[in-house]
Every structure is written in C-alpha cells, then in structure tokens.
Amino acid sequence: MNDIMNAAFIVALLSAALRLSVPILFAALGGMFSERSGVVNIGLEGIMLTGAFAGVVGSYFTGSQWLGALVAMLSGIALAALFALITVKVQINQIVSGIAINLLAVGLTSFFFRALFGITTTPITVNAFSPVSLPGLSTLPFVGEVLFSQTALVYIAFLLVPVSWFILYKTSWGLSIRTVGEHPTAADTVGIPVNRVRTLCVLASGALAGLGGAFLSLGQFNMFVDNMISGRGFIAVAAVIFGRWNPKGILIASLIFGVADALQIRLQTAGIGIPYQFLLMFPYLLTVVALTGIVGKTVAPKALGKAYAK
C-alpha cells in the first residue's frame, strides 16, 4: 500500500490517464459536432479503426507520420462521407447505419492490411510520433512530466477543445450547427442549408475520429493490428453524452474515462487485494454513477437522430 499515492505514482498515473483519454477525446469531439447538428454517429469506432489503419499505410508509403495522420483524417472523412450519404441524404436510421459502418470498417481494414502487407509473423512497423518535450515547460516539476512530454497529437487534441468551443459558440457556423440540431425547420426557414450543415459536421466527426485512430497506431505504437480500437469509439459516444454535448464537458468526460482506466490498471498491478473483476468494472461503474447523479440532467439536441426532409 505504501508505494501507492506517492508523487511518482501520481505522475505516472496521470501520464497514463492522459494517454488513455486522448483517443476518446478526439473521437468524442468529432461525435459532438455530428450530434450537435442532429446526427448520432455511432460509427465512430469503425472510423477510428479505419484511421488507425490508414495512418499506418500513409506513414508506410510516405515515410512521414504527419502525412500518415493526414491520410488517417482523409480516410475518416471518406468513411464519414458514406455515413452522411446514408443518413443525411438517403435518410436511413442513423443507429443502424452506424453499426453497418463499424462492421464494414473491421472487414475493410483487415482485408486491405493483408492485401498490402500479407500475413506477417512480425508486425509491419512505420515511422511514428515520438514525445516532444516543450522547452521550458517540460522541466517544470510534476506537471512538466505529465503535460508537456507527450506526442504532438496529444497537444493537438487538447488544443482542439478551446478551438471547438470557439467554433461552436462564437462563430456563425457554430450557431448554424446548433440551430440545425435543435430546430431544423426553423433553420431551414431562415435559409440555413440543413442537410449541408449536417453533412459537413459528419465529415468533421470523421476527420477527428480518424485522427483519434491514428493516435493509437502512430502516437502510441508504430503499427496496426486488427481491431486495435477495442471499443474506444463506443466510449467516445458515451463521452459525448456524459460531457453534455459541449467541448468542456467532453474534455472532462474523456479525462475521467482515462483516469478510471489508468487507475484500474495500476491498482491491479499494485496487487492491493481488491478482486480484479471489480477493478475492471471500475471505469464503467464510474460512468453509470456519473450519468445518474453528478452531471445532472442531460439535454440532448432536440432534433438528434431525426433526419430532415423538407
């Protein structure tokens, strides 16, 4: 017990929490734009997986992790475009379409990975992001190690929080997005192209989720393995709700998931005698508790999940 709760433990815990929360944060911010405009994007998981795969492919063929991340975003946008076509234009049920996207992504990534690299005994490795210590800041005690010795994608993820907030609440685009999600008919009346706004928001969610996937394959590792997202996209969907559809809330939600997961791992390895089943359950338990009590009443965008036809 005594080696828990000392400074080194806390620093290590928070660094791990940050790493675990970043993929969720990327995807959840994307999901937020989509949901704010009225489209539930449950396909985040599949888009992340595609991003993770495309990131590795991009980095493999260009030799640059940055181009890899760009390819990941483009692949996310491509898959999101398909999703937007199905849900916004053709107006099929959004949940069903989202599930289809997830299933499609598992098959596509696995298939193309083998088509490109064959059945390998050792993983194909590519150039990936390495931690960047911010000069000056990274030497700060405690926070320096936690916050300022991470990969570039981590900084980008956290920068996206105020950027998203600004877009959503301080620009006319943001106003359009929110209006379309709350009252599409009213938006239409004042000349906002409802379905175009929704399509753009879905594409944005694809770009961000794709980047979230690339964070796993290029920011945490330098390889792709089948199904490497392992449910983080679904956690992101929960984080959007938990975060009450705003960037600040989503940041907090993602961090809570990250801390819970990091704590779970560390308590288990510390061997403190709590049954590991309980510890594995811990992040989800926390979610349930938070959803029922702490976050208060959650109010979803009114037109969420409803397709808009004139």
**Residues of this chain that bind another protein (CB under 8 A):** 3, 8-9, 12, 16, 19-20, 23, 85-86, 90, 92, 100, 103-104, 106-108, 110-111, 113-114, 119-123, 216, 220-221, 223, 225-228, 230-231, 261-262, 265-266, 268-271, 276, 280
Nearer to another protein, 101 or 177 (CB): 101
- CA-nearest of 134, 142, 133, 131 to 8 is 142
CB of 56 vs another protein, minimal distance in Å? 12
Q: Distance (Å, rounded) from C-alpha 139 to C-alpha 96?
A: 49
- Closest to another protein by CB, 40 or 216: 216
Asked if 179 and 289 touch (Cβ cutoff 8 Å), the reply is no
Smallest distance from the beta carbon of 81 to another protein, in angstroms? 13
Q: Please give the backbone phi and psi of residue 280, each rounded to the nearest 5 degrees, phi first.
A: -65, -30
Closest to another protein by CB, 110 vs 138, is 110
Residues 245 and 86: beta-carbon distance below 8 Å: no
Integer Cα distance of 104 and 98 in angstroms: 10
Q: Look-up: residue for tokens 């009213």?
A: 186
Q: How far is the CB of 90 from another protein (least distance, A)?
A: 5
Burial 150-177 (b: 16+ CB within 10 A, else e): bbebbebbbebbeebbebbeeeeebebb
Cβ 114 to another protein, closest distance in Å? Answer: 6
User: In whole angstroms, how far apart are CA 277 and each of 60, 256, 264, 274, 281?
Assistant: 39, 19, 10, 8, 6
Q: Which is nearer to another protein, 64 or 91 (CB)?
A: 91
Q: Residue 112 or 165: which CB sits closer to another protein? A: 112
CB of 34 to another protein, least distance (A): 19
- CB 67 → another protein: shortest distance, Å? 22
Q: Which is nearer to another protein, 104 or 175 (CB)?
A: 104
